[in-house]
């Protein structure tokens, strides 16, 4: 299970990288077609919105820690972690508890199917 945890952390952290966030092609490989995100404001959206929105945004600096992996099935895993996010226009970071669900396809590729970040007090 530690090998899978390492793989999913690597995939999760790819989504933090400015070059991935600015590329619809790279995002499309990591995010499933049936992806759903619930953001800190409670808004829900899917992959189409992510592919339209993220490449136009200036990437925030995201630092994550305290990863936990939970298996939800043979080919489905939940990754929980804490994040510190510093946006370019902010003087101080925001903090959140985050949850991503990853599913392995029949080809063996892991893709994110769900993500939620809940704002919290400084970690």
> SS3 string of 53-118?
HHHHCCCCEEEEEEEEEEEEECCEEEEEEEEEEECCCCCCCEEEEEEEEEEECCCCCEEEEEEEEE
7 DSSP assignment: H
Task: Write down the pTM of the prediction.
Answer: 0.93
pLDDT in tens, 77-123: 999 999 999 988 778 999 999 999 999 998 999 999 999 999 999 98
pLDDT in tens, 11-35: 999 999 999 999 999 999 999 999 9
Asked if the model's pLDDT at residue 64 lies above 80, the reply is: yes
Task: Compute the average pLDDT of residues 40-63.
Answer: 93
Domain 2-120 has CATH 3.40.50.2300: no
């Amino acid at each position: 299970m530690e090998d899978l945890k390492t793989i999913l952390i690597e995939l999760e952290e790819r989504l933090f990288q400015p070059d991935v966030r600015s590329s619809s092609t790279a995002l499309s490989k990591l995010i499933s077609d049936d992806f759903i995100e619930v953001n800190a404001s409670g808004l829900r959206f899917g992959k189409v919105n992510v592919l339209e929105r993220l490449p136009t945004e200036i990437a925030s600096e995201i630092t994550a820690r305290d990863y936990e992996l939970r298996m939800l099935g043979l080919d489905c895993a939940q990754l929980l972690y804490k994040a510190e996010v510093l946006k370019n226009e902010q003087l101080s970071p925001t903090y959140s508890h985050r949850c991503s669900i990853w599913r392995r396809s029949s080809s063996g590729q892991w893709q994110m199917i769900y993500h939620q970040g809940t704002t919290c007090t400084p970690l």
